Structure 1
Amino acid sequence: MWALRVGGSSRLGGLTALLLAAAVASVGPARTAQAETEVDVALVLAVDISFSMDTDEQELQRAGFVEALRSPEVHEAIDRGLIGQIAVTYVEWAGVADRHVIVPWTLVDGPESAVRFAEDLEFERIHRARRTSISNAIEFGLEMLEESGVRALRQVIDISGDGPNNEGRWVTVARDRAIERGVTINGLPIMLKRPGYLDIHNLDEYYIDCVIGGPGAFVVPVRAPEEFVDAIRTKLVLEIAGEAPDEPLIELAQVDVPTDCLIGERQWEHRNRF
């Protein structure tokens, strides 16, 4: 499991360009004739809409996915896949009672279908809801994969959010269930604000230790508004290509205490106790 950190330094553009070029180049030869229901990857884009996300952050998040799906880099990655098409769905989640399919399963086989998906997504209303259940988002992603109606070479759940799990099953239980089924979970931790009452400062480490898993799993944190499009585009290209960096771009700091995967639950309990 790799930590692909997209930071705010001047190296961002160069590093991203190299990663995109490497990922697209490594996807493989041009497509071969396959049945319509076969895809290179079935991809669940699972997006946090909890109240901890400000409306401007939610709009930036939505716009980031829209622009990434319109990008030539993503189109080229799809085209150079072994089969040459992917299946993708966009869902929003918050607590255990809030999960919505915004754009249903769609076959994307090139620029036109990718742009249509982006247009469908762009004009849908953004919901908001309380609590944060990453575990429920993972379980919903597994349900969606079962209902995809395609035969996928790979299955990926792409989780984006700005806080730790604080409702539902333990996130590690849901993660391990996905790993047992051969599903990869990648993470997009959103770290735009100083940690608040229910947020944590090391959300990227939390995602690495507690959320992501499976073959080639990686994390791309977003630390500034202007990074959204670049980070999401990079992440989608790597997911479509089935690639992750050979080595982490930035090593995690060595700490004496491991990440507390129940920190969100403890914070919520403390909030309601006082």
Structure 2
Amino acid sequence: MPAGGRPTVRSRRLGTALRRYRETAGLDQPDAAEAITKSVSKISRMESGHTSASGLEVRTLLDLYGVEDADERTRLLEWARKSNERGWWIEYQAAASSGHVDHVALESEATHIRAWEPVLVPGLLQTPEYTEAVIATGPKCFPSEKVVELIKLRQERQQRIEEGGAHFTAIIWEPALAALASEPALGTGQLSHLLEVGKRQNITIQLLPTSASLTAGMSSAFWAFSFGAETNVEAVTLDSAAHTNVVEAPEALAHYVLVFDQLRSEALPPDGSAERIRNLLEDGMPHKEVKT
């Protein structure tokens, strides 16, 4: 069973992939169970991520399903091998919710990360001071030691991006930064930080202009994750006041891909976004839109 008695992100992703390949092959769970000489219940629990799959079981099922792509087979076998491993983020599970831990697990293994944030600066781009302010204004009153742990967790997440572990594209609605410009004590450091990290080759920051309010209203904040060389979105996380939810249904993922593409098409390009941030930083108020 996956560590902790609940599906891990890795075991759930493996199970989703195995189910998708089984259905594509036109086979049912009894067919799969017969191939690995296990019960239908075992297949059901494997596909839901509640039971680990061995490398031999995965190879047998992929043969049965006709999956011949070597890279894909290697990837799924790696997921099986690591499905019960404890990630570095586990040490923060006492401070973070289980949903947030799932988000960090996806983020840590992704090769491409996309974020849409209409209200806040994305966590991967926050300064410690901004992070602390966000936590302090939330509905929960955290003890100081837990605040320290949450800030440390966010900094460790940022470290991987800073080391080039994934490409990160963030689209932020301009009012989120315009509001910061009116709070120099907090905003100056955060806006300056955005200009600095935006120079990195693996980080793309784009602002959606204030005028694009209808487009901004298409969706609340979400994060999309891709794995491996391909940029196909395989998981999306959504934050609410109480939960972080992971979305993996293909039709839902396709919807978020369309929304992100629409947001990106109406956002300022990276250089225009940097110029807008500089304007906000210089005089503390929104400027007219940069011509693109």
TM-score by length of 2: 0.27
User: Which one has more relative contact order, counting CA pairs under 8 Å at least 6 apart?
Assistant: 1
Which of the pair has more CA radius of gyration? 2
Structure with bigger helix share is 2
TM-score by length of 1: 0.29
